[in-house]
Structure 1
Amino acid sequence: MLAIGVGAISKGGGVADVAVAAAVVAGLGILRAALDAVGGRLAFRAARRELSMHRSAATAALAQRSPLDSGRPASGLAASVLGEQAEAVVPYLTRFRPARMKASVVPLAVLLCILPISWVAALVLAFCAPLIPIFMALIGWRAKAASEQQLAETGGINAFLLDRLRGLATIRALDAVDTTALRLRADAESLRVRTMAVLRIAFLSSAVLEFFAALGVAATAVYVGFSLLGSIDIGTWEGRLTLTQGLFILLLAPAFFEPLRELSVVWHDRAAGEAALAALKELGTSQQTILGGSDAKPRPFVGPALIEIEGLVFRHGPERKPVIDHFDLSVAPGEHVALWGASGSGKTTILSLIAGLARHEAGVVRIGGMPLRDDTVDSLRRRMAWIGQSPHVFAGSVMRNVALGRSGIDSDAVAGALGSVGLDRVFTPERVAAIGEGGLGLSGGEAARLALARMMVDEQADIILADEPTAHLDAQTASAITDALLALAKGRILIVATHDPVLAGRLDRIVRLDTLARRVAA
């Protein structure tokens, strides 16, 4: 329309001769702006939905990873990938993918418009166009590798910072503040270098595109100019180029490279987005997963609790030696058993296998005569209570920390449980809301007692699994925890992994694990 209008003016036409062309240009401009706005909104919403799907899938896969998985990512790294790095997926979907589609369709449409007028102009553009994606692909491979290194560096520094913040008290006690600060400074400098490397590659890709785009437009303009001057008589299918035809080709030449230029602008989004998608996928890659997920309606088992383990075999990886090798154990209802052995002998592993927190390679685990499988573990876990070495305490009230969202637990049940473990005088009404994340403000003994209170309000649990419940406690506190644990386990199965000879001596039976046969190879 612009070319037709200018051609009409060059022939002496007036306003009436260009009114239609001007109206069409204005209408197309308004339509294009409206479509761009609507398309941008639809693309953004679709990208957010797809990102939510990827995040949900990665979170679900991460939740299914076993605590015994040696490749389980650090919490700082996982939080960085899910919260920060995953956002790179949105620009990748909303800007790069539409730009790539536009770059593959629009230049072809422009060539089809120019070819009927001048085959030389179409040939010039067709020659310059392939050089751009070839060089951009070469640069893009390097950009993707640099982006992956940058994302890994970001996740590593986040994990390091979170780990050091958790151990800040220990760092101060060991007078290692300066050493930690120097390490953090070095990591930050390394991240800066990698970020600048990614930016250099992004600028290089833009420079390559601009060079070939300028070369193509200039060559087309030279041909059109000499053709209009009469110096070139070839390149058209018949006769010479008219002013309208030449202007039409000149106006379309920049439009031919415009999608490629837009693609260059968002080329970095491709590298960052694909690296983020790969990182999200990596979170769900695991050699060890927990059991469960297929039992839609857990069935209550009312029979007596009886644990039978036959020929149990477990290893952390296919290439590694078994941690548990043909282990057998039978625990009668109400029996209290201590798993005794040095670090690495498999005590925690056995407890985890009983709870279905990892998949054994061979053997069978029966609870109440029911084999522990994906379709039964959800129901069988209702019979279990777990206390770990470091029970996690959430920020909030004592009521929420003891109930943990379970139905049927009221304030009276919580108060009774706190009284049974000797915490009724510690958690007075003034301190109910004073618990911080991670048990901030609580001692190790108080956190252990709180974990016991959680188990005490669970009347369905007739199997108690305790992993080093008295570790890192002084003798007086350990004795109190032992008394409370034995009182809680009265009439129930209790299996304790422990190094504490006092605790082990108060149980019915001690199972000694052969550390030489079951220790993981160095």
Structure 2
Amino acid sequence: MRPVDPRLLTHARTTRAFLAGSVLLGAAGAVLVVVQAGLIAEIVVRAFQQHAYGLTGPLLWLAATAVGRAAVAWLTELTAHRSVARVKSTLRGRLLEHATALGPSYLAGRRTGELTALATRGIDALDDYFARYLPQLALAVVVPVVVLARILGADWESAAVIAATLPLIPLFMVLIGLATQARMDRQWEGLARLSHHFLDVVAGLPTLKVFGRAKAQARTIARVTDEYRRATLRTLRIAFISSFALELLATLSVALVAVSVGFRLVDGTLGLETGLLVLILAPEVHLPIRQVGALYHSSVEGLTAAGQIFEVLETPLPAAGTRPVPPLRGADITLTGVTVTHPGRTAPALDGVTLTLGPGTTTALTGPSGAGKSTLLAVLLGFTPPTAGSVRIGGTDLADLDPAEWRRQIAWVPQHPQLFAGTIADNVRLARPDATDQQVRAALAAAHATDFADPAAVLGEGGAGLSAGQRQRIALARALLADRPLVLLDEPTANLDGESEAAVVDAVRALGEGRTVLLVAHRPALLAVAGHRHHLPGPPLPPTAPAQHD
């Protein structure tokens, strides 16, 4: 893994200014270290060897140098934290925007928990990388060069010893880093698996409780959590061992310099001030590099997550058209031989469908489970491109139309509509934020939702507090308020009681006035609303082996 991922410079331009600032601050800090070491050596020699006690000037300079080093450290921390806040905000926004633009077909191939972990814990893990690792990396490049140059000017023999032993630390860092990266990859996979499994269990908790499977899933979560705990402890074990190895190498290097300086001080070939200067500066050469090795372990999780974030960001977006959408209220929507085969599968999910949706008509789409009804809706939404065949809007191929403009013409009500934490009015206004209170109430009345839906009532996340039928009617009110020329409905009366079904059917009938409606339906009450029907045959049954007789 590279110390600085160049993709950070592409996707977060703030990183460039931050790296430049870190190098400048590191150079200033290195100069202050050299000045401080020279002042300490001068004060000690003048006080204890020369017995000169007029040290007011050097002591004031020493205090000023200490204040300067503190100011440089403070500026480095301040720059790091402000930069990481901007970088995290930029990356999180781009990740969500790009993942949304990739569409449901891409998201269906990834685990929800994995993307959630990337957008939250993964991006937050960049804190240590930016706030500590990158500034220390700049110090590890600048400080050893400046300090070693000063030691070379004072005592070339000590500089030669340090230069010979210094490369051992990066060498061991690379070897340890390779082992750490492999462990961290497994740890991150465990975290993503735990996050995904936990989200699935929480989403399906009511069903699990009904069938008495909640405790079994709790045991599964406990097992995955324990695996993640063990992976984390293995990573920490390597981190502690690596810190010991780096400290040992640095200590041996400084000890060799100290022995050499001590012998030359005894035989008088080296002055006391020079010896003190070398002994004070020798640990400063190794310190930044040792700190890089120690901080690498705290930042490697962020680097691992960043690599997966960049994989998502670098996934090419599906080809999109640019032509304007023709007026849908007077245009036919024609599907001709539309076939969809998902990647990695041989059997088509949708096979040769030919269908025409006339303007202002309501068409019911029927067929057994697996016939491709939801896939056909995804094709019309522009999320799933046909493998073969075409979809034409008034003579224009759907692939040539601007997808954003096309979707602005569609009101989409899925089988399980998504409601958000907020008032009922906020949920209904989702497609038309500028709608008035009177328009919201009219939409709720048309959806037969006024008996339970006070526009000012506050809902929980996912519409908590409402039944399935009530959530459907809120979603239909949202579609009525949007007033789009094309309405797509996916099983709007599934799993509803008779009273809720009747209310939803009336709302669907209201939606069909002056709009083109395509609805997936099985229930007779909903089929009665449609003026046209189109049946999709189910997938062919797999061939069975002929019976064998003795």
Normalization by structure 1: what TM-score? Answer: 0.88
Q: Distance in 2 between matches of 1:405 and 1:335?
A: 23
Q: In 2, are the aligned partners of 1:69 and 1:286 still within 8 Å (CA)?
A: no
Give the match's secondary structure for 1:200: helix
Q: Structure 1 residues 288, 469: CA separation in 2 closer, same or farther (over 3 Å shift)?
A: farther
Structure 2 residue identity aligned to 1:262: Q
Are positions 1:278 and 2:304 aligned together?
no
1:58-97 to structure 2, matched below 5 A, reads: 58-69=95-106, 71-97=108-134
Q: Paired residue for 2:18? A: none
Query: 1:416 maps to what in 2?
Result: 442
Match of 1:466 among 471, 481, 489: 489
Instruction: Tell me if the contact between 1:65 and 1:290 (Cα under 8 Å) persists in the aligned partners.
Output: no
2:226 aligned with 1:200, yes or no?
no
Q: Which residue of 2 aligns with 1:324?
A: 350
**1:25 aligned partner, one-letter code:** L
1:125 correspondence with 2:162: yes
Alignment check: 8 A CA contact 1:96 1:267 kept: yes
Q: Which letter maps to 2:61?
A: V
Call closer, same or farther: CA 1:54–1:344 in 2, change over 3 Å: same
Change (3 A) 1:71 1:404: closer
Task: Determine the C-alpha separation between the residues in 2 that align with 1:23 and 1:373.
Answer: 75
Q: Secondary structure at the match of 1:132?
A: helix
- Using the TM superposition, give the Cα deviation of residue 386 of structure 1 relative to its aligned residue in structure 2, in angstroms: 1.1
Q: Which is further off, 365-374 or 185-194?
A: 365-374
Shift of the 443–250 alpha-carbon distance from structure 1 to 2, 3 Å rule, reads same
1:215 offset after TM fit, Å? 0.4
d(CA) in 2 for partners of 1:75 and 1:507? 36
Q: Is the 8 A contact 1:71 1:286 kept in 2?
A: no
The equivalences for 1:348-367 within 5 A come to: 348-367=374-393
Offset at residue 389 of structure 1 (A): 0.6
Matches within 5 A, 1:288-303: 301=327
Task: Report the Cα offset of residue 209 of structure 1.
Answer: 0.7
Q: Does the Cα contact within 8 Å between 1:291 and 1:358 map onto a contact in 2?
A: no
Q: What SS does the corresponding residue of 1:386 show, helix, strand or coil? A: strand
Deviates more, 1:264-273 or 1:367-376: 367-376
Asked if the contact 1:420/1:484 (under 8 Å) is kept, the reply is yes
Give the letter aligned to residue 109 of structure 1: V
Equivalences for residues 4-403 of structure 1 within 5 A: 4-16=42-54, 18-69=55-106, 71-230=108-267, 240-284=269-313, 301=327, 304-317=330-343, 320-373=346-399, 376-403=402-429
Specify whether residues 290 and 385 from structure 1 end up closer, same or farther in structure 2 by C-alpha distance, changes over 3 A only: farther
* Cα drift, residue 92 of structure 1: 0.3
Deviation, structure 1 residue 351: 0.9
Please name the residue that 1:436 is paired with: 460
Instruction: Say if 1:334 and 1:174 are closer, same or farther in 2 by CA, change over 3 A.
Output: same
Q: CA 1:474–1:75 in structure 2 vs 1: closer, same or farther (change >3 Å)? A: same
Moved more, 349-358 or 500-509: 500-509
* Deviation sequence 1:99-127 (CA, Å, 0-9, x none): 11211222222222222343332222122
Unpaired runs of 5+ in structure 2? 1-38, 543-550
Identity fraction in percent: 32
- Structure 2 distance, partners of 1:115, 1:347, is 77
Deviation at 1:23, TM superposition (A): 3.1
Amino acid in structure 2 at the alignment position of 1:439: G
Distance 2:41 2:251 in 1: 21
Paired residue secondary structure (2:249)? helix
Per the TM alignment, residue 304 of structure 1 is displaced from its structure 2 partner at its CA by 0.4
Q: 1:310 aligns to what SS in structure 2? A: strand
Q: Distance in 2 between matches of 1:320 and 1:270?
A: 43
> Does the 8 Å CA contact 2:105/2:384 hold for their aligned counterparts?
yes
Does the CA-based 8 Å contact 1:96-1:263 persist in structure 2? yes
SS of structure 2 residue aligned to 1:309: strand
Q: Is the 8 A contact 1:103 1:263 kept in 2?
A: yes
RMSD, matched Cα: 2.7
Counterpart CA distance in 1 for 2:296 and 2:79 is 21
Change (3 A) 1:163 1:357: same
Q: Is the Cα–Cα contact under 8 Å of residues 290 and 358 in structure 1 kept in the other structure?
A: no
> Which position in structure 1 is the counterpart of 2:546?
none
What's the CA shift for 1:41? 0.6
* Paired residues of 1:77 and 1:155 also in contact (CA < 8 A): yes
* TM-aligned CA distance change 1:354 to 1:518, over 3 Å: farther
- Structure 1: runs of 5 or more not aligned: 231-238
Q: Does 1:425 align with 2:451?
A: yes
Query: In structure 1, the residue corresponding to 2:420 is in which secondary structure?
Result: coil
Deviation larger for 372-381 or 80-89? 372-381
Structure 1 residue identity aligned to 2:85: R
Q: Which runs of 4+ in 1 moved over 6 A?
A: none
Change (3 A) 1:398 1:374: farther
Note closer, same or farther for the CA distance 1:484–1:23 as it changes in structure 2 (3 Å cut). closer
Tell me if the contact between 1:388 and 1:469 (Cα under 8 Å) persists in the aligned partners: yes
Cα pair 2:432 2:481 within 8 Å, conserved? no
Residues in 2 aligned to 1:261 and 1:54: alpha-carbon distance in whole angstroms: 30
1:453 equivalent in alignment to 2:490:
no
1:145, distance to aligned residue in structure 2 (A): 2.6
**Higher deviation after alignment, 473-482 or 130-139:** 473-482
For residue 470 of structure 1, what is the amino acid of its counterpart? T
Residue identity matched to 2:308: A
Which of the numbers 496, 505, 510 marks the counterpart of 2:519? Answer: 496
| Contact 1:136 1:208 survives alignment (8 Å) | no
- Which amino acid is the alignment partner of residue 218 of structure 1? A
The number of aligned residues is 504
AA partner of residue 453 (structure 1): A
Distance of 2:162 and 2:434 partners within structure 1:
74
State the match for 1:234 in structure 2: none
Q: 1:411-468 CA deviation, whole Å, 9 max, x = no partner?
A: 2222222222322222257xx4143221222221121122221122233x12111112
